[in-house]
Structure 1
């Protein structure tokens, strides 16, 4: 039997969660708390397997309670439950060692699956929360890629960066020359230097590098 603590400062929410979990024959709600401090104390005294914690609670909020549980009762697996799907809350919950993150509009069966997954030592993210994590990881990867690209561009002079930005726009040598008021031959010389310094085989590779670095954009 999975022993569960439900922590939420709203009695109706606690009652709803308890009713949903009571429909599962392998889950037993053994304690309820109305604030984070009480949740931590009850989780320890009732030998809880899984704690379902609302983020917004008085005295000690859900994320703080999660961090405290990880310190004083590391065996307790915690699920964070909230109406707020902000990416920062998802990542903070996972960073504090949370076993999962659920939005309050999740289907009842999703809550039951989350509790079972947490009890089994697995992580559970609602589809909405998963999107936040994926978006964040993609943003981090894109940020790292941009930083690497910008590092490579440090070898270029200011004028060469200007020409590279025009390559990134897809301009020909002639069009680039007209844009910066130099001859096509001069642009060609700049392009040759850029390719050599950046170790790019052709202008397409250089243009892609300019795009990765955000050259010529507001990013």
Structure 2
């Protein structure tokens, strides 16, 4: 089995060590990832990315030499680019939005629980966009592109963007998968989207003023679905 090759680019040695230990502990159980390199600044990091045939880069933003945004721009011009999960000490709206606009496949705050790093790595490697729940709520204000989503619809939309299946969301909320499907059709209708890729694009690229960025890069979400029609509210 091909192990996913991961590099960590962060200027703090203890952060690199902590992420490496966490990933290696996980890998000892399932054996699907391998931390193959580390870099303490952006110049070294870019050399690793350029020459390392990597699958994923865990990237800090505030780096000496070459910052994370510059690295993201260079990575975006590569013919075969690795996935990038930004891991930053900044937890405000601006760095999340800016990192995603620059081409990151996900964003994780260093203040999150260690388990979130494993979830983020798994989601990004699976082809999903990983965004913390708190950031989703800020990046996607209710009604930004149409009718306001209900609290339940917003919860379901967040689950869909995180890559969860209808069945998993249904189990978490105590609903049936059929009910989740009906809510999903309503979410798509209200936001004016046709599939999960457009849903991710909508939720991550509408800012607090309703201003749209460029469309999401191809492959942000792994599943495409046919255009849904209106469905009745569940009422539960």
State if a TM-score over 0.5 links the two structures.
yes
Q: Indicate the SS of the match to 1:72.
A: coil
Offset at residue 101 of structure 1 (A) = 0.4
Correspondent of 2:108 among 74, 77, 102: 102
Query: What is residue 37 of structure 2 aligned with on the other side?
Result: 31
TM-score (norm 1): 0.60
Q: Indicate the SS of the match to 2:26.
A: coil
- Whether the aligned pair in 2 keeps the contact of 1:101 and 1:129 (CA below 8 Å) is no
- Unaligned stretches of 5+ residues in structure 1: 145-219
- 1:92-131 equivalence runs, <5 A: 92-131=98-137
- Whether the aligned pair in 1 keeps the contact of 2:139 and 2:208 (CA below 8 Å) is no
- Whether the aligned pair in 1 keeps the contact of 2:105 and 2:128 (CA below 8 Å) is yes
Q: Indicate the SS of the match to 2:140.
A: helix
Give the CA RMSD over aligned residues. Answer: 1.9
- Whether the aligned pair in 2 keeps the contact of 1:102 and 1:129 (CA below 8 Å) is no
Q: Indicate the SS of the match to 2:77.
A: helix
Offset at residue 61 of structure 1 (A) = 1.0
- 1:1-219 equivalence runs, <5 A: 1-25=3-27, 26-72=32-78, 74-135=80-141, 137=206, 139-141=208-210
TM-score (norm 2): 0.56
Offset at residue 41 of structure 1 (A) = 1.2
- Whether the aligned pair in 2 keeps the contact of 1:85 and 1:128 (CA below 8 Å) is no
Q: Indicate the SS of the match to 1:140.
A: coil
Larger Cα-atom Rg: 1
State the number of aligned residues: 143
